[in-house]
Amino acid sequence: MPVRTDKGMDLSALAPWISRQVETLLAQRGHAWLLQGPSGLGQLELADALVRTWLCDAPTPQGACGQCVSCHAIDVHTHADLAVLMPETVMIERGWPLSEKAQADIDDKKRKPSREIRVESMRGVIEFAQRTSGRGRGKAVLVYPAERMNQVTANALLKTLEEPPGDVRFVLASDAAHLLLPTIRSRCLTHVMVWPEHAEAMAWLTGNGLSEQDAQTMLHAAGGRPAAALAATTAAASNAKSWKLLPKAMVKGDVGALADVPLPEAIARLQKLCHDVIAMQVGASPRFFAAADLPTRPLAISALTRWWGQLVQSARSADHPLNAGLAAESLVSSAREALNSKN
C-alpha cells in the first residue's frame, strides 16, 4: 500500500502492515497464493511485492532489493519472466502493455477494452507458464482482480494452477474472493489481508501529507481502509471537507455536492450515507461519517429503507446511465426526501 506510480514500486514506501505480510508470506512455501479481503487493504501491492521478491536477483527475507536488473524490468513493465493478467481496462489504467492483437483491435475500434479477464489473455499466460525462465529465477504470474475471470477464463487456468509446469508461481489478488470458482480457491493457499490498527493507519496517512483531521475523516469515509482513504483524498472532486458536508448537502437537496463525481462513485457515497443514517436511527454507531455530521432527529425507517432500495437499483445501471445528469438529480432528490422524512 505504498505511495507509488504504476511505473514501479518504492519498497521503502510500503505501509508497515503490508511489509509485515510480505515477510510472513515469503517465509512460507507454496506455488499459488490467493490474497483476499475488501478493496483498499493492499492486495495488489502485496502481490506486487511477492512477485518482485520471487524474481529479484538479490532478495532478502523482507522483500526485493528494488535496485537490480529484475526489479528495474518490473518497474518499466518489460520483465520476460513476469506475466500480469488483468482486465484490459485495468491494464491500460496502470500502464501495462496489452498484447499486439488486443491493442490493434482496440486501436482499430473493433471493440472496447474488456472489463473482464479475457480467455485469450489466459491462454497466453498458460503458454508463458510452459516456457523456460529467461533469467533463471523462475517465472511468476500475477492475476488482479482475480474475480474478474469469467467461468471460461477460470476453467482455462485450473489445470495449470493445479500442476504448474516447471518453476512458475502464481499470486491471485481479489477484492471479492467469494465470486471465484471454488475449484480456483481450493488450488491456492489463502491469505486474508490484515487490517491495520487505527493508530498505525492514522500515522501512515499523516505521513503521506494529510492533516490529522483530514486523515480521521477520510479513514472514516473509507471504512478503516487506509489506501482507499488516501486514494479518495487525492482523487478529483473528493476531499475531507466535501465528505463532511455531504449529509447536510443531501438534506438540502444540493446537486452541486456531487458535481464532477462519476455516477458509480456518487451512488457509493450515498450508500455509505444511507447506511450510517439507518445505523444512527436504530442506536448503532456510524461507520463512514462522524456522528456529529449526520442528522440526529427521528426519521422514518420506511423512507430510509426505500431510499436504500433505490440506491441498490441505481447501482445496477451506474456504468451505463441513459442520462448521467438526470440520474444524479434523481439520486439527490431521493436522498433529500428520505433525510427529511418524519418518523
Name which residue leads in pLDDT, 90 or 239: 90
Say if residue 48 is in the same domain as residue 106. Answer: yes
Percent helix, strand, coil in the chain (nearest 5)?
55, 10, 35
Say if residue 134 is in the same domain as residue 253. Answer: no
133, 121, 192: which is closest to 157 by C-alpha? 121
Residue 42 zone, left/alpha/beta (φ > 0; ψ -120 to 50; rest) = left
Locate 96 and state its grid cell.
Answer: 501495462
Say if residue 65 is in the same domain as residue 188. Answer: yes
Say if residue 173 is in the same domain as residue 128. Answer: yes
**Prediction pTM value:** 0.80
Q: How high does pLDDT run on average in the chain?
A: 89
Of 192, 212, 247, the position where a domain reaches its end is 192
For residue 264, cis peptide bond before it (omega within 30 degrees of 0): no
Say if residue 158 is in the same domain as residue 16. Answer: yes
Q: Provide the domain limits for residue 294.
A: 239-339
CA atoms within 13 A on the CB side of 141: 29
pLDDT tens by residue, 306-337? 999 999 999 888 777 667 788 889 999 999 99
In a domain, 2, yes or no: no
In a domain, 90, yes or no: yes
Say if residue 119 is in the same domain as residue 244. Answer: no
How far, CA to CA in Å, does 337 sit from each of 2, 42, 332? 41, 37, 9
Average pLDDT, integer, range 180-186: 94
The answer to whether 73 touches 64, Cβ cutoff 8 Å, is no
Of 127, 159, 192, the position where a domain reaches its end is 192
Say if residue 156 is in the same domain as residue 202. Answer: no
Of 234, 250, 285, the position where a domain reaches its end is 234
Say if residue 224 is in the same domain as residue 129. Answer: no
- DSSP for residue 143: E
Locate 328 and state its grid cell.
Answer: 444524479
H helices of 56-141, where? 69-75, 88-94, 100-107, 119-130
Residue 5: band (very low, low, confident or very high) from pLDDT cuts 50, 70, 90: very low
- Angle 16-26/43-55 helices, nearest 10 degrees? 50
H helices of 108-211, where? 119-130, 151-162, 182-186, 198-207
| Residue 87 pLDDT exceeds 80 | yes
Bridge partners (DSSP) of residue 60 are: 63
pLDDT at 238: 56
Say if residue 60 is in the same domain as residue 124. Answer: yes
Say if residue 133 is in the same domain as residue 203. Answer: no
**Structural domain count, the chain:** 3
